[in-house]
Amino acid sequence: MAKLKKVIPAILAEDPKALETMVREAESFASYVQFDIMDGQFVPSRSITSQDLMAVPIKFSWEAHLMVERPEDYLNDCREAGAKKVVFHYEATSSPQSVISRARELGLEVGLAINPETDVPAFLPLVDEVDSVLFLTVHPGFYGSKFIPEVLDKVVELRQSRPSIAIGADGGIKESNIIQIAHSGVDEFCVGSAIFSQPKPAERYYHLVALIKEVSSPD
């Protein structure tokens, strides 16, 4: 049976004013959004915090993509801010199992994010413990980074090993490559600049949704 594929608008904002603008914009078309939280250490850039998210009324459901060192230190604040799910990087902690366990204790869904250089066997033992795996198809930390097509080979590898796991891709996704990405086995497409850096974000979102609608996952 084909999996339902979905486009998840990804909001990367550097300050509270930009955050509120993008939230209001996303409310016109999105029911679920990803917020990027960056600490300036795990990745070079720094972004809004969970405290900033607490200060903005948010009508849609959302997840936090934690591009941070010590992701376990962010879990309580994410839950208090209203996150449904946290996605943390396998490479950001020496004990990913403890991050997963703590997130579960807080009632959060959990996703495991994977940098482009990390091979599937390294994190495969953790896949059965999480709700999804998110492959970074760029070097993380910036809007508009260059897409790395070789990551799709890892999507195929994981899909063959774990046919039922929800697999996401994040970074450099746009009209010209989203169908190729979908055919590799990706279910969830986290899209930032190809939506929010465009003159009509809602129009671009619906266009991307239409492009993937007829593509089935290779179960």
What's the one-letter identity of residue 76? N
Query: d(Cα 141, Cα 208) in Å, to the nearest integer?
Result: 23
Query: d(Cα 161, Cα 192) in Å, to the nearest integer?
Result: 29
Tokens representing residue 154 in the block:
């890892």
- Identify the three-state secondary structure at position 52: helix
**Residue 98 contacts residue 50 (beta carbons within 8 Å):** no
Q: Does residue 170 carry a catalytic annotation?
A: yes
Burial class (CB in 10 A: 0-12, 13-18, 19+), 176: exposed
pLDDT in tens, 82-125: 999 999 999 999 999 999 999 999 999 999 999 999 999 999 99
- pLDDT given for residue 144 in this prediction: 64
Residue ranges per structural domain of the chain: 6-212
Q: Does residue 36 carry a catalytic annotation?
A: yes
- pLDDT given for residue 219 in this prediction: 47
Query: Which candidate in 39, 73, 131, 170 is catalytic?
Result: 170
Domain 6-212 class in CATH: alpha beta
The β-bridge partners of 169 are: 135, 189
Query: Which candidate in 15, 36, 119, 128 is catalytic?
Result: 36
pLDDT in tens, 26-79: 999 999 999 999 999 999 999 999 999 999 999 999 999 999 999 999 999 999
pLDDT of 212 > 50? The answer is yes
